[in-house]
Amino acid sequence: METVEPLLRFDNVTVAYGAMRVLHGISLSIYRGEIVALVGANGAGKSTLLMTVFGQPHARAGDIYFDGQEITHFATHRIARCGIALVPEGRRVFAAMTVAENLNLGMTALISEKHWSDEVGLEQVYTLFPRLWERRQQRAGTLSGGEQQMLAIGRALMSRPKMLLLDEPSLGLAPLVVKQIFVNLQRIVQQGTTIFLVEQNANQALRLAQRGYVLVNGRITLAGSGAELLVNPQVRAAYLGEA
Ligand SMILES: Nc1ncnc2c1ncn2[C@@H]1O[C@H](COP(=O)(O)OP(=O)(O)O)[C@@H](O)[C@H]1O
Ligand SMILES: [Mg+2]
């Protein structure tokens, strides 16, 4: 019997800041071609979980596997070169630089071996986000919140990752803008990049994702298809504002 190997796998991972444990025995798997959402309230440990993939902070116990390799103790730059890109919370574009300069940084910052063409990456990003093409000479600081999020995603894609980790891309954006960005996430997956999406915005994230996990105080309490979790009474009570 053939078994399909996950692209990213957490096996019983525990993470702490000093003496304070924030993630307790996390196990989860993400397969190629999926969009998987992890939803949880503020402070549940979502950002920590994503940052642990890059070894900052390191897991105290348990193992992380990516693309068939154990990466738990790899240095951060080495993990990026395995083909994982993170779009951090709060977007963090370089405000004084133009859109084009921000995108160019995306490839030079992450990739040391240039075995792929810069032009192809740029074209892919501009095709995905025509707005960025229109504004390529504009300073990133003058973009709207939604455009800055597109730029942050575009910059991460410049390294042509196998997997994109997104930390609350919907934060502070109007529902319509979130919808536009989430449509693009679907296209990114169709183009071959697997997505792990971390969100407080359970409603839109679970609509988009095939599968989801619910994180409560550093523990996964529920897992299922996006559709199942959306109608789960516990999820509805905790995240969708229903009593
Ligand atoms: N650098 C840090 N040092 C100490 N505690 C931290 C640090 N970052 C986050 N925490 C704590 O870890 C817990 C989880 O935080 P975080 O991963 O940011 O959650 P989320 O992204 O779900 O809001 C919170 O209690 C937070 O205060
Ligand atoms: Mg966070």
Residue where a domain terminates, one of 135, 160, 185: 160
For residue 28, the surrounding DSSP H or E stretch is strand 20-30
Q: What range defines the domain where residue 190 resides? A: 1-83+163-243
Paired strand residues for 194:
163
Same domain, 140 and 75: no
Counting ligand 1 atoms within 8 A of each CB, the residue from 20, 22, 220 with the most, and so the one to mutate, is: 22
Is the minimum distance from the CB of 217 to ligand 1 under 6 angstroms? no
Atom of ligand 1 nearest to the CA of 44: 22
Q: Closest Cα to atom 25, ligand 1: which residue?
A: 43
The last residue of a domain, from among 160, 182, 212: 160
Question: Residue 45 C-alpha to ligand 2 middle, in angstroms?
Answer: 7
Between the ranges 111-115, 197-201, 238-242, where is the mean pLDDT highest? 197-201
Its pTM stands at 0.93
Report whether 62 contacts 11 (CB < 8 A): yes
- Residue 173 burial (10 A CB sphere; 0-12, 13-18, 19+): buried
Helix (H, G, I), strand (E, B) or coil at 185: helix
Among 46, 48, 49, 56, name the best residue to mutate to test ligand 1's pocket (greatest count of ligand atoms within 8 A of Cβ).
Answer: 48
Instruction: Give the 3-state secondary structure of residue 30.
Output: strand
55 pLDDT band, cuts 50/70/90, is very high
